Amino acid sequence: MADLAIAAPASNHTSRRGSAFWLVVPGIVFLLAFFLLPTLQMMSISFVERATGDFGVSAYVKLFGSKVYSRVLGTTFMIAFQVTVLCLLLGYPLAYWLSQQPARRQRIALMFILLPFWTSPLVLNFSWLVLLGRNGVVALVMSNLGLPGGDDLLFSRTTVLFAMIHTMLPLTVVTMLPVMNTVDKRLTMAAMTLGASAPQAFWQIYLPLCMRGVATAGLLVFISALGFFITPALVGGRQETMISQLIITQIQQLQNWQLGSALAVVLIAAALLTIFLYDRIFGLSTMSGGQTAGSAEGKLRLFGIALTKRVGGFFSRVGEVYGRTIRGLPARKLLSAYCTLVIAILLFPIIAFIPMAFTEGSFLSFPPKGLGIRWFEAYAASPLWVSATLRSFAIGIVAAALTLVIASFAAFALAKSSSRLAGFAFLLFMAPMVVPPIVIAISLFYLFAQLQLIATDISIVIGHTVIAMPIVFVILLATFKGHDWRLDQVASTLGANRFQVVRRVTLPLVRSGVVVGFVTGFLQSFQELTVAIFLGGGLKTTLPKQMWDDITLQVNPTLAAAAVVVLLIVIIMFVIIECMQPRRT
């Protein structure tokens, strides 16, 4: 995400400027039709009185007036805030450690970190439900160690925070990492030769330089956390109810669109406010990696510099004392140990599914009772599970293909054009990332209900395409911006026609980016739950939706078998990406 800049297009084809720009049009039309307008329409319902059909704000009066609702709002913001701060604190050292690794090891480590992320939050949280349960492995270990409270781990604020952080830590790390990777290592070296101690070089030089990445990660995590419902629904108690759960209740069970949409407006408003603050401090274009030098006299900048100086000086003294007294433990080893531990914890719940799925018993338990493939047989024999898996797979392929085509056109256009509309197009393509999926889901639900398209595969495909668009677009934009277009010009001067240029030069060079984009789009769709809950009805369920229903209705090890299938598919996708990595470096 960091290598992009809308402010300064990489290529300056003055003669061709704008000629490729029309390629962005399909994407703009798609996002206007299935994202922006439906969202605005859905938002407008909150201002229409249910009984009379007149304009009114009674929904908002109810929201902020009633204790029940305002408490949920407060809880949601508090949880989102806590999750964000903790994710940044826990994720920063991990991202830093990754940025110090050689490229290949970094990629492998990143795959381990992303494995739980793409295996879907549903599976993760469900795993915690089993592992942290009254008879779970954690309770067992705690009672063996003589620690109290092992039988009461679930349904508390701490558990919700832990599970949400666990779910979002990979997102935090992958957002911060690209910026850290671009920080020139020689700068900290230079600081050292100029007299800075290691802590001073870190706080005064390194940290400010990767602050953009930290802020972007914070923004994304906060907004995702605001719209979260899986974790509080599964491992949280009544006290941890969040806005999205209320939206689901209001719309799915009570058909109260006015209140449901008002809740969605609150979510959007909060997201927009966060983005506004982010823009004021860091400049929105930094999200795409544009350099905003800002004013040298900016109060915030001077404050930041003064602050890092203080902190740097403080830790420098701490370091001196540390160096004099307990020099035994090298910081580097501590960091490696910490990161290994975090990655292990990230992987634990999905790895734990494997033995659970192979249990012979009738209940999900860890450690499993006996080994066998009974539940895989049950899974394979169940038409419900098999059809859900196949549908998810098909929807994933179609949605990924659609996303890839639209995003490629747009990314190509934006990479080669410096039109003033490019900024607008960029924001539109990124917008679905900062609108909670639940809002997108209910907006599309409302739209497709009018079009009689509810419970069709096409509606789910469209929903998934909207949700996958930003990330796939960013990957392709980076790919096209990183591509040296002069090579294409060279090819044509060497006698290649337009088609040959694309086939022999452009495609081979951008291939890995395109494959990563496709796989990402597929995984996004394959693990997506929210849209499937609203748009897939009856028999038209996807795999995550089937799992969700299973968890809420009855829990049996078939679910674990399905989770293992998901894990396997994600791993296959990762292997595909790794195989596509260009060998040249």
Binding residue (CB under 8 A) for another protein from 75, 119, 120, 200 = 200
Which amino acid, residue 119? T
> Is there binding between residue 320 and another protein (CB under 8 A)?
no
Only one of the segments 155-163, 199-207, 342-350, 487-495 lies at the binding site for another protein (rule: CB under 8 A); that segment is: 199-207
DSSP state of 146: T
Candidate segments 10-18, 36-44, 181-189, 359-367, binder of another protein by CB under 8 A: 181-189
Residue entry with tokens 């294409």:
488
Contact call for residue 285 and another protein (CB under 8 A): no
Query: Which CB, 43 or 198, lies closer to another protein?
Result: 198
Asked if 501 and 412 count as a contact pair (C-beta separation under 8 A), the reply is no
Cβ pair 462, 525 in contact under 8 A: no
- In angstroms, what is the minimal distance from the CB of 280 to another protein? 18
Q: At what angle do helices 103-118 and 331-357 cross, to 10 degrees?
A: 40
Using CB under 8 A, count the residues that bind another protein.
Answer: 24
Task: For residues 150 and 142, give the distance between their C-alpha atoms in angstroms, rounded to a whole number.
Answer: 6
The whole-angstrom separation of Cα 227 and Cα 248 is: 11
Query: Which of residues 70, 135, 252, 291 is near another protein by CB under 8 A?
Result: 291
Interface segment toward another protein; rule CB under 8 A; list 60-68, 290-298, 352-360, 381-389: 290-298
Is cis: bond before 544, omega within 30 of 0?
Answer: no
Among 187, 344, 373, 405, binds another protein (CB under 8 A): 187
Residue with tokens 């990161």: 339
Query: With binding defined as CB under 8 A, does residue 195 bind another protein?
Result: yes
**Nearer CB in complex with another protein: 46/197:** 197
Q: Interhelix angle for 121-131 vs 558-580, to 10°? A: 130
For position 190 contacting another protein by CB under 8 A, the verdict is yes
551 neighbors 128 (Cβ within 8 angstroms): no
Query: Is residue 514 involved in binding another protein (CB under 8 A)?
Result: no
For another protein, the closer CB: 9 or 349: 9
If one asks whether residue 347 binds another protein (CB under 8 A), the answer comes out as no
Stretch in the footprint of another protein (CB under 8 A) among 120-128, 203-211, 456-464, 524-532: 203-211
If the CB atoms of residues 316 and 542 are measured against another protein, the closer one turns out to be 316
**Residue 371: burial class (beta carbons within 10 Å; 0-12, 13-18, 19+):** exposed
Q: Tell whether residue 8 is a contact of another protein (CB under 8 A).
A: no
Among 194, 344, 381, 568, binds another protein (CB under 8 A): 194
Q: What length is written for the chain?
A: 585
Residue range at the interface with another protein (CB under 8 A); choices 119-127, 161-169, 291-299, 446-454: 291-299
* Residue with Cβ nearer another protein (69 or 278): 278
Instruction: Confirm or reject binding of residue 300 to another protein (CB under 8 A).
Output: no
- In the complex, what is the shortest distance from the CB of residue 315 to another protein, in angstroms, rounded to a whole number? 14
Q: Which residue's CB is nearer to another protein, number 23 or number 201?
A: 201
Q: Shortest approach of another protein to residue 309 CB, angstroms?
A: 7
According to the binding rule CB under 8 A, does residue 296 interact with another protein? yes
- Does residue 197 belong to the site contacting another protein (CB under 8 A)? yes
Taking the alpha carbons at both ends of the chain, their separation in whole angstroms is: 20
* Contact between 373 and 439 (Cβ < 8 Å): no
Would you count residue 331 as binding another protein (CB under 8 A)?
A: no
Q: Cα–Cα distance between 59 and 48 in angstroms, integer?
A: 9
Q: How far is the CB of 295 from another protein (least distance, A)?
A: 9
Q: How far apart are CA 566 and CA 353, in angstroms?
A: 11
Q: Is 184 in the site for another protein (CB under 8 A)?
A: yes
Estimate the share of the chain in helix, then strand, then coil, as percent rounded to the nearest 5.
75, 0, 25
CA distance 271 to 440: 13
Q: What is the DSSP string of 64-76?
A: HHSHHHHHHHHHH
Q: 209 to 228, contacts with another protein by CB under 8 A?
A: 209
By the 10 Å C-beta count (0-12 exposed, 13-18 middle, 19+ buried), 410 is classed as: buried
How many CA atoms are closer than 13 Å to the CA of 175, on its beta-carbon side? 26
Task: Decide if residue 196 touches another protein (CB under 8 A).
Answer: yes
For another protein, the binding residues (CB under 8 A) are 184, 186-187, 189-198, 200, 204-205, 208-209, 291, 293, 296-297, 305, 309
